[in-house]
Structure 1
């Protein structure tokens, strides 16, 4: 709806494409560079990469832009979305800092001629082409791009539009530069014929074998007691798995439930019963909903299956004016009133011309102009398509003669939808919406079904202040009873279960069972081990008191820090030793897998046509060590015991079925090369992260 509207509607999607890159990195660049020393002070740095600071101000600018993009696309900003956006923004800075340094070393640039080719050349950059594509065909629309470029270079384009476009082009250039760097790495990768031959064999060579297994589950956990040596051995073998790239924390907590009481529910029910009587008598249902309903559900015609299930089975068989409820649904008391029923089309194909009242000198003039355009079309002096291209401020549809994709009920704003579905083919109607004045032509209507218009009022079932105060006082009394040593004891005395949240990051907003726990996390990253929370934290309908149980610093974690985490795996290791000993005894004097299985008290299972590239034992799991052993055996030879994922195995190879000799390994080379290229970018970035010195102060700011 005009270039400005086009930008508002599309720019969020445009910028979202380059996620992983810095968004509007150049904004305020000079201000930061020329600012006072405060910008270089650690108190305003949210992080640092190899000595290069990340300013909190710049971080927050990008985070605000990303958040606004989500809002513009109709996304609600939940704690999970906030956490995701924060993490994405952080990774954008890391990518920019790490790759930027490497790109600078190599002197990689995108020249002026290349930029021009990327934007307006015969083959524009895919990010640009994607945004100027025909919505119906999905194909790049050269005319649409040219029209936009002409506009953006004219004196009509305002500063905000120019800034948005410059930001987008800047990010496309950054993306191209990074692509060049990754291409340099990818071009250095090579697949030789031996690797291709191994890949061919791995996917096509078949193995037929028998196996016997003793499941770990055959030994109860309570019968296994690992020794210190068992823990030390496992820890030393897997030490690299316990390297923390960022500081993590564990907490214990108890929660006090402040959900609505029976008395609260009864009180709200009384209010809603009164509303139901008033709603039934109301003569202005739309106003009643706006005044009394919590969610202000739009009143529009809907097909069967689109209402709350409780309503769907009632309203399509009721008479106009019928009121249903109160009933409880999704935590709210609801009342519904049947406003109207009718039979109407399922979908409509229409086109429109949109006029902006501000540009036309006011709403009356815009409506008068719409009447004039309608008269021109009806008299045959002009076509709808020509007038749409000339006058419609909705340029996206205007360039296509005003055509809109076929739409069903619920796809358009109510006033537009009512006009399109209530008329008949060939009708032209003028309606006014929040977007302006529409001249609508109904081109066709398809289908026919009964629809209903239902007005709904809801009242959330919420705890009263009295209930909340009573629960809060209990939580406060528990907090007052705590010292550093009695958290579990006091919880047990109060009949509360102690819950755990492990490996919390500094930017976490959600914890297990706690949806919006950002304040609690911020406390945890300021506290010392053993501290209990300074206050009672209200989270949803819970009041929470917590204790900091563990601090896991950056670097290798100690055995004590991971002991609880690795205990199940260590117990498996101990079981594996016992089951291996059992198989060793069975192997003594045995000449076949069937004899081994019988002596060990299990059965031998035969498998056919197993390939190395898919090391799955049917009905069990992926057993890499087991299948790897099979492909290294000689026929009719018994293997040593193998500690697998599900249990300890002994295998015996019957035969291999070799594939036909590979006559052309080019395809295998290409497939392997493509896989390497796809992984190159991420692996290069991970390698740079591993070598980098990264300071992450986000927990102090967010």
Structure 2
């Protein structure tokens, strides 16, 4: 009976529990059946823009493509800064795409079939079409090539897919241009505005002033009140609108610097290499295998190497070994394999053949030999280059201009500099098979061929272990104590990374900061980050000290930041009282100066549009007041950037009347339209809800 009563009284709770269990079982069933938790999908979202999720797969692919473009554009290997820049570019593009696409739909902006045809083949083709199908010399569109490619796309699925992507990009650019034109055409400048702008840029003022500088009062003597802080905050609220969440962290770096023992060990290693190099039977291979810095095994001109080596090797006989020598953080070793005199520069032309499209290197080489024979029998090299070469120089008859050593790949360089004027040479390089024609050789100087070895002076595992041990010991000691106090006790320097955004790719003093930034955005204020972070040459321990959310920051959050400005504002009040006393009863600026014991400073030919006080600073308030005053009337006080001023205008020089306002209006309209376009896009962004999860992935 007791059990039945218990069940009757608890029936509601049991039912709820059963339903809850059924839901969990259902969800877990999905996990079992798919191998993927129900929340996993949301974990793959890099951000949400106005309700549209951006998947990490799609986003990551675009980031990789952008990084590849950056590497091609700027050269060098990928690095954290390059990746951060790529992530930021792709994110901005995604935001623009979502926000603007919805605005286009709202406004009814579309690209018709006729417009699209015109963008392909019309009188004003899309810049993208011109880029792919334009003549690089004339800039004219090759319409036959466009038509031919479109026809091929009907039979070639891969080409069709490329055209679909191209069409989407062309349509996107065309819509952007339509929207930009809508915004620009909404801008209008009146004749009154044009005349006022013209006057502001050409009207001159001569005046005199007396100043009381803020520097005359020591900061330490000023004690701002809460009311002073509140007044400054209330009057400058726009300054405290934080566009993105930021975090500040303190950190201590434990440098991994090579010790004397490390230097000695690397030095002994290079000395052993020097002994082996003396008896090496293949100098180029030995250098390539043992050097950490690759120097091409080709003839080098003076000035190409580190000065410590360059100044010596050109004076040594062939067979000599120089080094090892320690310079700029690495040991250098060089063997003079050969020396000779060589042209300083060469003028050459070439025909570049692509083995991949011709059926292999052998086929390409045979074709190059055939072309060489044709030229030797009187064939026109330039015409053959235009017909056969796959290089951009074909439109110039294969002409590469004049180049010095180090500008071409070694195979090409050796052929061009080792041959004679008029020679035709067939060589293979990483770019394909070349038929080279040596047009001219200029100058003559000594060049050397070196077997060059360089070993960087790096910290040993033992040195790294010692630095890591210090870092882990410090991390353990600050878990329950004040970060700065423990650092001070141990003689460590505390650095600050201030106001770091979630997507930022750099931080002061840190070469690879992304892991620390990610951890900081997953921590709470005051937390010591849980791991020791490894940089390129240091270990780092950090503590999150401040979080500033997006939006208007409260006064408490910015109080420390605004303290210098508040002190200046208090000084301005103090000096304004002093200036008011001097202005009382004064009929000219000299009387004001006499009361204050300050000099009168004359200023000539100042324009309103350029409010610079010569020898002082940009003083917008003062210059604005001068242009709004009557001649010879004492004005002030004005609290400016560097002090409090009294002033008197002595003369104004008005420009000749603006005869035609059209040009002035046009110039102003262009500037306003450009600003309006940016402002319109910002307004659209402000209206949508954007959730940015990038910090979880990058």
Asked if TM exceeds 0.5, the reply is yes
Local SS of the residue matching 1:527: coil
Quick check: 108-117 or 549-558, which moved more? 108-117
Change (3 A) 1:156 1:562: same
Contact 1:339–1:453 under 8 Å retained in 2: yes
CA–CA distance in structure 2, aligned partners of residues 445 and 39 of structure 1: 69
Instruction: Decide which of 560, 564, 582 is 1:564's aligned counterpart.
Output: 560
Q: Provide Cα deviations, 1:431-453, integer angstroms capped at 9, x if missing partner.
A: 11122221111223344444444
Contact 2:505–2:513 under 8 Å retained in 1: yes
Quick check: 124-133 or 146-155, which moved more? 146-155
Local SS of the residue matching 2:399: coil
Change (3 A) 1:41 1:290: same
Aligned to 2:18: none
Contact 1:431–1:437 under 8 Å retained in 2: yes
Quick check: 685-694 or 311-320, which moved more? 311-320
Q: Does 2:371 align with 1:373?
A: yes
Local SS of the residue matching 1:636: coil
Aligned to 2:494: 498
Q: Does 2:307 align with 1:309?
A: yes
Aligned to 2:45: 45
Change (3 A) 1:622 1:38: farther
Aligned to 2:231: 233
Change (3 A) 1:106 1:534: same
Local SS of the residue matching 1:635: coil
Instruction: Decide which of 489, 494, 517 is 1:521's aligned counterpart.
Output: 517
Local SS of the residue matching 1:640: strand
| CA drift at 1:589 | 3.0
Instruction: Decide which of 380, 383, 389 is 2:380's aligned counterpart.
Output: 383
Q: Provide Cα deviations, 1:49-72, integer angstroms capped at 9, x if missing partner.
A: 222222222211211111122234
Q: Does 2:663 align with 1:664?
A: no
Alignment of 1:213-292 (within 5 A): 213-292=211-290
Aligned to 2:108: 107
Local SS of the residue matching 2:352: strand
CA–CA distance in structure 2, aligned partners of residues 605 and 336 of structure 1: 67
Q: Does 2:603 align with 1:579?
A: no
Q: Provide Cα deviations, 1:128-176, integer angstroms capped at 9, x if missing partner.
A: 43455665x5x41545x75476357537997666545543442232111
Local SS of the residue matching 1:406: strand
Contact 1:484–1:530 under 8 Å retained in 2: no
Local SS of the residue matching 2:540: strand
Q: Does 2:591 align with 1:595?
A: yes
Contact 1:261–1:463 under 8 Å retained in 2: yes
Local SS of the residue matching 1:522: helix
Q: Provide Cα deviations, 1:93-127, integer angstroms capped at 9, x if missing partner.
A: 11111111111111212222322322333432234
CA–CA distance in structure 2, aligned partners of residues 299 and 312 of structure 1: 15
Aligned to 2:62: 62
Instruction: Decide which of 452, 477, 481 is 1:456's aligned counterpart.
Output: 452
Aligned to 1:440: 436
Aligned to 1:178: 176
Aligned to 2:687: 691
Alignment of 1:6-21 (within 5 A): none
Local SS of the residue matching 2:612: coil
CA–CA distance in structure 2, aligned partners of residues 664 and 45 of structure 1: 57
Contact 1:50–1:692 under 8 Å retained in 2: yes
CA–CA distance in structure 1, aligned partners of residues 414 and 345 of structure 2: 12
CA–CA distance in structure 2, aligned partners of residues 690 and 241 of structure 1: 17
CA–CA distance in structure 2, aligned partners of residues 37 and 473 of structure 1: 39
CA–CA distance in structure 2, aligned partners of residues 454 and 649 of structure 1: 70
Alignment of 1:386-535 (within 5 A): 386-392=383-389, 394-535=390-531
Change (3 A) 1:681 1:405: farther
CA–CA distance in structure 2, aligned partners of residues 242 and 448 of structure 1: 65
Give the unaligned 5+ runs of structure 2.
Answer: 1-35
Q: Does 2:536 align with 1:543?
A: no
| CA drift at 1:217 | 2.2
CA–CA distance in structure 1, aligned partners of residues 437 and 154 of structure 2: 30
Contact 2:252–2:541 under 8 Å retained in 1: yes
Contact 2:339–2:447 under 8 Å retained in 1: yes
| CA drift at 1:615 | 0.9
Aligned to 1:129: 130
CA–CA distance in structure 2, aligned partners of residues 108 and 340 of structure 1: 70
| CA drift at 1:204 | 0.8
Aligned to 1:203: 201
| CA drift at 1:675 | 0.9
Change (3 A) 1:155 1:678: closer
Give the unaligned 5+ runs of structure 1.
Answer: 1-35
Local SS of the residue matching 1:639: strand
| CA drift at 1:454 | 4.0
CA–CA distance in structure 2, aligned partners of residues 134 and 406 of structure 1: 24
Aligned to 2:3: none
Q: Provide Cα deviations, 1:456-506, integer angstroms capped at 9, x if missing partner.
A: 321111111111111111111111112355212211211112221111111
CA–CA distance in structure 2, aligned partners of residues 564 and 251 of structure 1: 16
Aligned to 1:23: none
Aligned to 2:13: none
CA–CA distance in structure 1, aligned partners of residues 37 and 687 of structure 2: 29
Structure with greater Cα Rg: 2
| CA drift at 1:41 | 4.5
Aligned to 1:24: none
Change (3 A) 1:343 1:578: farther
| CA drift at 1:687 | 1.7
Change (3 A) 1:238 1:343: same
| CA drift at 1:405 | 3.9
Local SS of the residue matching 1:419: helix
CA–CA distance in structure 2, aligned partners of residues 76 and 149 of structure 1: 39
Q: Report the TM-score, using the length of structure 2 for normalisation.
A: 0.89
| CA drift at 1:387 | 2.9
Query: How large is the Cα RMSD of the aligned pairs?
Result: 2.6
Local SS of the residue matching 1:297: coil
Quick check: 313-322 or 170-179, which moved more? 313-322
Change (3 A) 1:485 1:597: farther
Contact 2:345–2:404 under 8 Å retained in 1: yes
CA–CA distance in structure 2, aligned partners of residues 208 and 62 of structure 1: 58
Aligned to 1:167: 165
Local SS of the residue matching 2:250: strand
| CA drift at 1:554 | 1.7
Quick check: 598-607 or 492-501, which moved more? 598-607
Aligned to 1:116: 117
Change (3 A) 1:620 1:157: farther
Aligned to 1:193: 191
Local SS of the residue matching 1:389: helix
Aligned to 1:356: 354
CA–CA distance in structure 2, aligned partners of residues 520 and 177 of structure 1: 41
Aligned length: 662
CA–CA distance in structure 2, aligned partners of residues 294 and 693 of structure 1: 51
Change (3 A) 1:564 1:218: same
Change (3 A) 1:407 1:697: same
